[in-house]
Every structure is written in C-alpha cells, then in structure tokens.
C-alpha cells in the first residue's frame, strides 16, 4: 500500500489518529519533563528512576522530542498523524529490541532497564496500532477510503447479493423452451 493522502479531510478515522498521537505524545512528554525536573546527568547509568523506569537526561530529551513530534502530528491530523504514528511505533519496537541486546553493557548509554524495554515494546505497539487503525487490515469495510484506493473501484457488492445475481443469470427464463 502506498502511503499517500487517501483519507478525506472530514473522515472519522482522522479523530482516532489525532487522539492516539496526542495521548501517546502527552505520556512521553510527561516522562521527559519528570526527567528534567529530577536534574539528571546526560549519560548517567547509575539507575535513577522515574515512573518505575531508569532514565538519564539524554533519554528525557529524546522522550520530549518524540512526545512533541506526536503532539504536532495530533495537531496536523489526518494521514500525516497516521503515518507518523506508524513510523514512531515501529521505531519504538526496534528500540526495544536494540536495548534488549545492550542491557547491562557499556553500550547502554540511555540507561535502559528491563522495564524500559517492556515500556518501549508496549508504547510502540500502542502508537503503531493508533496509526494503522482503519488503514491496514484484510477486512476493511467497502466504504473505507483506503480500501477503495487500493482497489481503484467503487465499493464491492456483498457476496450474498453477488451469488444470488449469478444464480438469476444462470437460471433460464420460464417461458423459453430449452
């Protein structure tokens, strides 16, 4: 599927993308702000905890930047918010895998702990789900703009109506002699 602007401006899916980006952006922004309030050092790996997760100033900066980006996506809305949510969600999941491999090693400069890894996986899946909602599925309704765009045609007739129409065509008329 090509990620173009298929969604009409007033479509109800735009609300889902906006609220999803806004909610997740606020969570990340809050985590980053709590890190700033605790006056952490940039690459400290001593295990300072905020909201049950280890953090340092660098992780707070990254959380704040990503949170602000999601809030900007919530303000813009539409396909931009959907694409941003899918991208950020995928990056969170990838970050979770990357930090899973560097736990308890010197390369763990963001001071990730196991709770951070789990949070990264969960937040990534939540953000990606908000971005993919109503856009990626094998059973999209016929009036969905993404389905219509993919198939470049009008909504398909229900299968029941198609089968009954096919039977009518195959059945000979009663007044004809065959």
pLDDT in tens, 72-122: 998 988 788 888 999 999 999 999 999 899 888 888 777 788 988 999 999
pTM of the model: 0.67
> How does the average pLDDT of the chain come out, rounded?
75
> Confidence class of residue 51 from pLDDT cuts 50, 70 and 90?
confident
Q: How far are the Cα atoms of 38, 101, 111, 113, 161 from residue 41, in angstroms, in the given order?
A: 9, 23, 11, 17, 66
Question: Residues 160-169: pLDDT tens digits?
Answer: 555 555 555 5
List the Cα angle 50/55/60 in 5-degree steps: 95
Give the pLDDT of residue 72: 93
């Amino acid at each position: 599927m090509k990620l173009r602007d298929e969604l009409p401006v007033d479509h109800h899916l735009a609300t889902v993308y906006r609220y999803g980006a806004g909610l997740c952006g606020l969570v990340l922004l809050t985590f980053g702000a709590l890190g700033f309030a605790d006056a952490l050092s940039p690459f400290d790996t001593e295990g300072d905890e905020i909201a049950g997760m280890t953090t340092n100033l660098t992780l707070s900066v990254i959380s704040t930047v990503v949170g602000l980006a999601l809030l900007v996506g919530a303000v813009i809305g539409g396909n931009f918010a959907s694409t941003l949510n899918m991208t950020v969600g995928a990056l969170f999941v990838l970050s979770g895998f990357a930090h899973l491999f560097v736990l308890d090693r010197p390369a763990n400069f963001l001071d990730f702990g196991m709770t951070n890894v789990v949070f990264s996986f969960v937040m990534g899946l939540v953000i990606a789900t908000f971005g993919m909602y109503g856009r990626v599925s094998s059973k999209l309704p016929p009036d969905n703009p993404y389905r219509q765009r993919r198939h470049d045609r009008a909504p398909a007739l229900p299968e029941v109506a198609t089968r009954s129409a096919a039977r009518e065509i195959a059945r000979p008329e009663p007044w004809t002699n065959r």
